[in-house]
Structure 1
Amino acid sequence: MTAALIRVRVAARQDEALDICSLDLVPVDGSALPAFSAGAHIDVHLPGGLVRQYSLCNTPGETHRYRIAVLRDAGSRGGSATVHDQLQVGTVLDIGTPRNLFELAPSAPHHLLLAGGIGITPLLAMAEQLAAQGGGFTLHHATRSRERTPFVAQLASAPYADRVHHHFDDGPAMQKLDLAATLRSAPAGSHLYVCGPTGFMEAVLAEGRAQGWDEARLHREYFAAAPTGTAGDGGFELELASSGRVIPVAADQTALAALLAAGLDIPMSCEQGVCGTCLTGVKSGVPDHRDQYLTPEERAANNQFLPCCSRASSARLVLDL
């Protein structure tokens, strides 16, 4: 499925912290950009054919620009290096329209925002939206050091600065993030939102579950999938429930690749099991879930899977296609 693309130009670029730069993207034709809500991200079509997802971190409601911030990651698949090395003021590129899989819960009495490193980007937009709407929230940002912390000055001058707390790994012990205490002190009924490195996010979610937070109040957005061993993978079959057609998936092939090769039109984006775009219903069979998108309860139900990364524990999956 080919989504509409918007041609934009890099109108501004700024170093926000060590190895982190922000880019302001404006439409080439001068028109207004589609509105977005806090937590939204866009697909950025980079030189060389790469497509990467970046959260929007400017104030929701702005339609004259989109702002993204990108960490140069030595372990990345090339996207962050391309942004840092090739995207300069004046560069023209294509982006997708905003999509939001990490929305604020409208009825939550309080919002606890927990960011690790560059994971601040969607949470910064959340803080801006909540402040504008008068919503209750607290923002905690954990980073390795002050020099690696983006948006320090912006947050210090924000009207909600008293609700922002920075935690530096190389700072005094009393300044470091105490997850257990932070979650325990949240007002009753709070919703938690976490974004950042996988280890940080898993620690936050584990603490929330240990303290009895309902899964519906734990919101997360992963930037990348956790590494998964593939040495023992075997082939399996996909059956289309609508026609009975059977599509084989080879041991070295993803289910998504097999479906696309068979002519199926499957929406996709990250191809890492992070964004949820390719989520597909499962009518029977047992998926081998390898994504970072589904909750534990959703995985246990075994009625949907992400074919870009997940496989099958049974010989065949019957798909709701």
Structure 2
Amino acid sequence: MTVTTNQSVREVLNQITHDPRYKNVMRMDKYDIPQTFLTLACLSIFTLSCYWYLTGTIPWWLAIPFNIVAVFLAFTPMHDASHRAVSSDSFVNDLLGTAAGQILLPGMNMPAFRAIHMDHHRYVGQDGRDPDCGLVNVPKWAGLSYLMFTDIHWLTWFFKHGRDNWSPRIKMYVYVMIATVVGLHAAFLLSPYWAEFLLLYVVPQRLGLGLVAYTFAHIQHPHGMTWEKEPFQSTVHIYESSPLRGLMFGQENHHIHHLLPHLPWYRYRRVWELANGILHKQPIPQRGWLKPAPEPIYVPGAEAFAPVDVRVVSIKEVGEGIRSFEFEPTDSDTLLPEGAAGAHMDVYIADGLIRQYSLVSHDEVTNRYRIAVKREDNGRGGSRAMHELTEGQVIKIGPPKNNFMLYENATRFILVAGGIGITPMLAMAHRLIRLNKDFELHVCARNEDAVPFQEELSVSRLAKHVHIHLDQDNGRSALSPEKVLANPGEGTQVYICGPGGFMNWLRESAIGLGWKDENIRIESFAAPIAKDVENHPFTLHLTKTNKEIEVKADQSILDALQHSGVEPAYACMQGTCGTCITTVVEGEVDHRDAFLSESEKSSNTAMCMCVSRAKGDRLSVEL
């Protein structure tokens, strides 16, 4: 399974990957200085240490520690290369990763290691599918010494589990690697230099491999936690006070690596800043390099995401056909979850009738939510049912979800609301006032009576930011995109909410005026995939070769392609990097990635093959 079936982590991923700074964080050069330096450093240390020992410059007891350091350093470029996080050029990336990998395992090749490591990322904590499970819960008879034989553990796992799930091509690479490793060891051990080989390579390689496995696998994953069910608890954060965390090359933030595996190790820290620091709010266990995480590890139960009973405490007319509703929990001990600006929630109006409404405000002092609903007599019935509610009535609401996050790091904001689209904008406006940010709030309405929340908009602190645009006699909006959106800027974010046609008009106008797509935010109630989502099989048609491939219900498109001999590039396997994006020719896509924008998804012209699927029985892609 993939991370995209978990609602909470998918929402966080969407918020992070749509932060305007995300593309810069994931940017990769052809020759990345830190990664290239680390690769050359480990190769140089190992080569010089061996040379100095063989020429009598240093004793054996100094050569061994040097080579252990080289083995430890070699893991990071080899590991990052498996995620294509060493170079933007595939050849350079795999070359550097493979070169460093020879210190860890002579004969190692990138396709084989990438397959092993990607299965770990996809199936963390799942016995039989995660090749690193045995490194977390080591056999009692061996203890931590087992970690020195990580390569043998992986080999055992491959013959028991991996080869049943991998393509013939990947299995061939594994067999080639095994033959090369065995051949090189046999050649050296049968040569006159067998003693030097044992001293300079085998001993430091085993000790270094044990140190690598302990640092980057054993302490990073609490036993019993899986990426599918407990994504935020299946990886750890190393205490800031831990003295050895500086030697972990980013993996002290291992949870960030599993969320965004395609990032180079030295950029993990920057992810903490994205999406208003959303990761700081997640229940991620912490531990030291030696000190284990406190037990039991807290895992939010189903009750954390379950609807709660609330009482309608206030209903007010706030515009033509628009009513606001205030809710508070029926249980005074229930604390409503944070309702950040831009969030919406499910309202269970009646049996089988669930609608999504944006939060106008969350008053933490009174423990109340406020929403507003416009009555639509020709709608599906939700707004009519809402307008039939009475004060004191009890209904259920779900926890807030946020697909329309206010990215507070921007320097300037332009908020544009059409009619009832003002609801999330009011929450944003009040938040921006508290942050002392520069912003404009443009409200478009049919006429003066149709302007929602007139009294609130006239409040002095808010009034100076508000611009009202009433429709003209011909029915067109009086708002002029050429004036309101006249100055595109990197530090400015445009937020638009209103009827579909209104939002599309403004977005297209903004693009035409030079605004970048990542600086334009449009309200979306697109809900995360339900936990009980069921995949169905479908046929994938490759237009360039006219080949048809059957994708099973338990397969990703990438898995099916690889089993059929097609090897597209990939890096993250969870829809956050865009490496495996391909053009869609025909068929409707079930988008499950966090990389493509809502407009790109709605255009149905591209898809991430690692997680997305076909909605129907057939899909054609340009491969």
TM-score band, normalised by shorter chain? 0.7 to 0.9
User: Residue 126 of structure 1: which of 425, 428, 431 is its match?
Assistant: 428
User: Residue 295 of structure 1: which of 594, 599, 616 is its match?
Assistant: 599
Q: Which has more radius of gyration?
A: 2
- Alignment partners' CA distance in 2, 1:41 and 1:163: 24
Work out whether residues 198 and 222 of structure 1, in 8 Å CA contact, stay in contact via their aligned partners in 2. no
User: Residue 46 of structure 1: which of 343, 349, 352 is its match?
Assistant: 349
Q: How big is the alpha-carbon RMSD for the aligned residues of Structure 1 and Structure 2?
A: 3.5
Distance 1:152 1:186, change over 3 A: farther
1:215-273 CA-partner distances (Å, limit 9, x unpaired) = 1111011469xxxxxxxxxx9556334499xxxxxxxxxxxxxxxxxxxxxxxxxxxxx
Distance 1:115 1:214, change over 3 A: same
Residue aligning to 2:339: 36
Residue aligning to 1:165: 467
Work out whether residues 362 and 368 of structure 2, in 8 Å CA contact, stay in contact via their aligned partners in 1. no
User: Residue 240 of structure 1: which of 544, 550, 553 is its match?
Assistant: 553
Residue aligning to 1:217: 519
Work out whether residues 582 and 608 of structure 2, in 8 Å CA contact, stay in contact via their aligned partners in 1. yes
Q: Say whether residues 1:4 and 2:306 are aligned partners.
A: yes
Deviation of the 1:157 alpha carbon = 1.1
1:174-213 equivalent positions in 2, closer than 5 A = 176-185=478-487, 189-213=491-515
Residue aligning to 2:419: 117
- Alignment partners' CA distance in 1, 2:359 and 2:337: 12
Deviation of the 1:294 alpha carbon = 2.0
1:41-190 equivalent positions in 2, closer than 5 A = 41-59=344-362, 61=364, 64-85=367-388, 87-170=389-472, 176-185=478-487, 189-190=491-492
Residue aligning to 2:179: none
- Alignment partners' CA distance in 1, 2:525 and 2:461: 28
Residue aligning to 1:314: 619
Moved more, 134-143 or 285-294: 285-294
Moved more, 178-187 or 114-123: 178-187
Bigger proportion of residues as strand: 1
- Alignment partners' CA distance in 1, 2:505 and 2:552: 37
Give SS of 2:400's match.
coil
Deviation of the 1:74 alpha carbon = 2.6
Distance 1:167 1:310, change over 3 A: farther
Deviation of the 1:76 alpha carbon = 1.7
Distance 1:243 1:20, change over 3 A: closer
Distance 1:88 1:212, change over 3 A: same
Distance 1:144 1:64, change over 3 A: same
Equivalent pairs counted in the alignment come to 268
Work out whether residues 60 and 128 of structure 1, in 8 Å CA contact, stay in contact via their aligned partners in 2. no
Give SS of 1:176's match.
coil
Work out whether residues 60 and 129 of structure 1, in 8 Å CA contact, stay in contact via their aligned partners in 2. no
Deviation of the 1:160 alpha carbon = 2.4
Give SS of 1:160's match.
helix
Work out whether residues 196 and 223 of structure 1, in 8 Å CA contact, stay in contact via their aligned partners in 2. no
Work out whether residues 114 and 139 of structure 1, in 8 Å CA contact, stay in contact via their aligned partners in 2. yes
Deviation of the 1:48 alpha carbon = 3.4
Work out whether residues 339 and 362 of structure 2, in 8 Å CA contact, stay in contact via their aligned partners in 1. no
Residue identity matched to 1:240: A
Work out whether residues 403 and 524 of structure 2, in 8 Å CA contact, stay in contact via their aligned partners in 1. no
Distance 1:241 1:115, change over 3 A: same
**Length-normalised TM-score, structure 1:** 0.73
- RCO higher in structure (CA 8 A, sep ≥6): 1
- Alignment partners' CA distance in 2, 1:310 and 1:158: 50
Q: Give identity over the alignment, percent.
A: 34
Segments of 5+ residues of structure 2 without an aligned counterpart are 1-6, 8-301, 527-536, 540-550, 558-579
1:97-148 CA-partner distances (Å, limit 9, x unpaired) = 0111101123211011000000000010000001011111110000111111
Residue aligning to 1:247: none
1:33-59 CA-partner distances (Å, limit 9, x unpaired) = 111210001100111321100000015
Segments of 5+ residues of structure 1 without an aligned counterpart are 225-234, 245-281, 317-321
Work out whether residues 33 and 63 of structure 1, in 8 Å CA contact, stay in contact via their aligned partners in 2. no
Work out whether residues 341 and 405 of structure 2, in 8 Å CA contact, stay in contact via their aligned partners in 1. yes
- Alignment partners' CA distance in 1, 2:308 and 2:399: 7
Distance 1:60 1:242, change over 3 A: farther
Work out whether residues 489 and 515 of structure 2, in 8 Å CA contact, stay in contact via their aligned partners in 1. no
Distance 1:170 1:90, change over 3 A: farther
Work out whether residues 322 and 452 of structure 2, in 8 Å CA contact, stay in contact via their aligned partners in 1. yes
- Alignment partners' CA distance in 2, 1:170 and 1:310: 42
- Alignment partners' CA distance in 2, 1:242 and 1:297: 22
Residue aligning to 1:18: 320
Distance 1:191 1:284, change over 3 A: closer
Distance 1:312 1:203, change over 3 A: farther
Work out whether residues 581 and 606 of structure 2, in 8 Å CA contact, stay in contact via their aligned partners in 1. no
Deviation of the 1:158 alpha carbon = 4.2
Give SS of 1:37's match.
coil
- Alignment partners' CA distance in 1, 2:452 and 2:429: 15
Deviation of the 1:301 alpha carbon = 3.4
Bigger proportion of residues as helix: 2
- Alignment partners' CA distance in 1, 2:428 and 2:366: 16
Give SS of 2:402's match.
coil
Work out whether residues 345 and 398 of structure 2, in 8 Å CA contact, stay in contact via their aligned partners in 1. yes
Distance 1:137 1:43, change over 3 A: same
Work out whether residues 488 and 515 of structure 2, in 8 Å CA contact, stay in contact via their aligned partners in 1. no
